[in-house]
Structure 1
Amino acid sequence: MIEIIPLPAFQDNYIWAITSAQSPWCIVVDPGEASIVEQYLHKTNKHLLAVLITHHHADHTGGLQALKQQWPSLRVIGPAAEAHRIPTLTEQVADLDTLTFAEMALNFHVMAIPGHTAGHIAFYSAPVLFCGDTLFSGGCGRLLEGRFEESAVTMYHSLERLASLPDDTAVYCTHEYTLANLRFAHTVDPTNQALISYQQLCEVKRQNAQATLPSSIGLEKKVNPFLRCKNRDLQLKFKQNTAQALFACLRMAKDQFKS
């Protein structure tokens, strides 16, 4: 069985380390900082097998060059649509591709989930999902600058695709934004008892310096306003006639929200 370890980086990023007690290998997801990964590998005596990249932003890719120098045969796998922004990729993948890591008896399916960036992808190996900056616990990623209307439609469909995964899917996003997201969610849906309970639980976790992640698809469908846009009561409250229109309304409101 695999174990997934959060490696905190910068102010609120997580680099995810995928490992197993039965294997000397490790895979990391979105290493924005190489030193954090190197310290973990040294501490655990693991060998770096591969890096998975969800999108091109520097806080997800900044450690690649240093890691590649230390591990010359390293597999660096990321979105083909953003390869021109990630020169260290050794493998380019696209929607519906499958990745095999025989050394760890692991397979990942690639899902295209654009919206935060045009070529954003996720890596899914049931019941585990690495979704970068598309879906957060209680929220979702910002949209492409200057292309709000187009990106709102794109992001809505990406979130719907993720929401269609089994409820027990563990959601490993790349930022500890949960409390800030839930404060906004509470303004949208203040009587949601599942949201209230989850917010209290996450506050305790953060007080104890624990990660709020992973979440789950089933939980997010109960508490995350961006996955609740088909809810007719919310549509009426915000005077929107469709789920896509409510999503765009909420995303714009979140952009202006001061938590």
Structure 2
Amino acid sequence: MSVLQVHQIPVLNDNYVYLAHCPESGATAVVDPAVSGPVLAEAERLGWRITHILNTHHHADHVGGNLEIKEATGCTIVGPKPDKARIPGIDVELDESDHYMLGAAEARVFFVPGHTRGHIAYWFEESGCLFCGDTLFALGCGRLFEGTPEQMWSSLSKLRALPDETLVYCAHEYTQANARFALTVEPQNEALRARSARIDAARAQGEPTVPSSLGEEKATNPFLRADKPELSEALSLAGVAPERVFAEVRSRKDNF
């Protein structure tokens, strides 16, 4: 198996698009191209030929560059089978537990509905990379536009089960605002307080806070901690089912 080289491209107001390059084969995927121009220019600068697009879900700020990149490169567009009708130019449809080869690098696919009804995520185990779109953010998770709290908690639980050293390549720079919210629901979490300070320092220097490690998400992200007694107790929900605790956290974030 090959270890991917990942290059992060900031676009729009707060999106991240990723180039994932397999050095052994030369294959290069664009993950969730919101736009085409900056992506094509960056790939050319790096000398990487785009061969694939990996889409996690159908929102325009994740698929907006699909057709222009495909026209320019002839690449293969890969996306979620449950949402194939809403993925422009889709060639390959993937679902839960499928495996997909990007050159010599293998991805395992997770079906993670909640933010949308057809969301998937790609885990490259050998590379330690998780491309999770808008399901999991650094210190947050996506809004429930098309799914239920029960679905999203189940989806996040799948991702939480991955190794701590996994790098979480989410699609937005929301971390500082997410940290401010997280401190309102778990103010006594010392790991969270320390992480929030590091985030503020990084953003003051214009530095990205993504990727994060899954280990630090498990310790500090309230949306992954709905089954932790310290969080449910902080919310006066001791003994309540994790799905209900998660729903309460999500509701508070929606109104934060």
Give the TM bin, normalised by the shorter chain: over 0.9
1:20 positional shift:
5.2
Q: TM-score, normalised by structure 1?
A: 0.93
- Looking at structure 1, the residues matched to 204 and 21 of structure 2 have their Cα atoms a distance apart, in angstroms, of 27
Q: Which digits, 9 at most, give the CA deviation of each residue in 1:162-214, with x for residues without a partner?
A: 11111111111000000010100011111211111111111122122221111
Output the CA distance in 1 between the equivalents of 2:152 and 2:24: 38
Whole-angstrom distance in 2 between the partners of 1:161 and 1:11: 29
Q: Shift in Å at residue 19 of structure 1?
A: 2.2
**Preserved CA contact (<8 Å) 2:32 2:63:** yes
1:220 to 201, 217, 233: 217
Range that drifts further, 51-60 or 225-234: 225-234
How far, CA to CA, are the matches of 1:35 and 1:206 in structure 2? 26
Alignment-derived partner of residue 54 in structure 2: 52
TM-score (norm 2): 0.94
Structure 1 range deviating more: 30-39 or 205-214: 205-214
Cα shift at 1:22: 5.8
SS in 2 for 1:60: helix
Distance in 2 of aligned mates of 1:107 and 1:230: 31
Partner residue of 1:33 out of 4, 15, 35: 35
Report what 2:198 is aligned to. Answer: 201
Structure 2, unmatched stretches of 5+, are none
Number of aligned residue pairs: 250
What is the Cα deviation at residue 2 of structure 1? 2.5
CA contact (8 A) 1:235 1:242 kept: no
Pairing 1:160–2:161 present: no
Post-superposition shift, 1:219? 0.6
Pairwise CA RMSD:
1.4
Match of residue 119 from structure 1: 118
**The residue matched to 2:6 in structure 1 has which SS?**
strand
Matched-pair contact (CA < 8 Å) for 2:163–2:214: yes
Counterpart residue identity of residue 16, structure 2? Y
**Match in the other structure for 1:78:** 79
Superposed CA deviations along residues 56-100 of structure 1, whole A, max 9, x for unmatched, are 00000000010111112x110000111111131011111111111
For residue 233 of structure 1, report the CA deviation from its aligned partner: 2.9
In the other structure, the counterpart of 1:134 is 135
The 5-angstrom pairing of residues 83-94 of structure 1 reads 83-94=84-95
Q: Is the 8 A contact 2:28 2:102 kept in 1?
A: no
Which residue type is aligned with residue 244 of structure 1? E
Q: Give the match's secondary structure for 2:123.
A: strand
Preserved CA contact (<8 Å) 1:55 1:119: yes
Cα contact 2:169–2:211 (8 A) shared by 1: yes
1:9 matched residue in structure 2: 11
**Cα distance between partner residues in 2 of 1:250 and 1:130:** 24
Q: 1:109 to 1:178 in 2, by over 3 A?
A: same
C-alpha contact (below 8 Å) 1:116/1:133 kept by paired residues: yes
Change (3 A) 1:22 1:109: closer
Identity of aligned residues (%): 39
- Name 1:249's counterpart in structure 2: 248
Q: How does 1:172-191 map to 2 (within 5 A)?
A: 172-191=169-188
Asked whether the 8 Å contact 1:98–1:107 carries over to 2, the reply is yes
Deviation at 1:242, TM superposition (A): 1.7
Verify: 1:171 aligned to 2:172, yes or no.
Answer: no
**Distance in 2 (alpha carbons) for counterparts of 1:176 and 1:23:** 31
Rounded Cα–Cα distance in structure 1 between residues aligned with 2:61 and 2:86: 13
SS in structure 1 at match of 2:51: strand
Give 1:24 deviation, angstroms. 4.2
Deviation at 1:236, TM superposition (A): 2.7
The answer as to whether partners of 2:176 and 2:199 remain within 8 angstroms in 1 is yes
Q: CA deviation at 1:55?
A: 0.2
Is the CA contact 1:131–1:173 (under 8 Å) kept in the aligned structure 2? yes
Task: Write out per-residue CA displacement over residues 108-154 of structure 1, whole angstroms, 9 at most, x where no aligned residue.
Answer: 11110110001100000111100000010101100025x6xxx1000
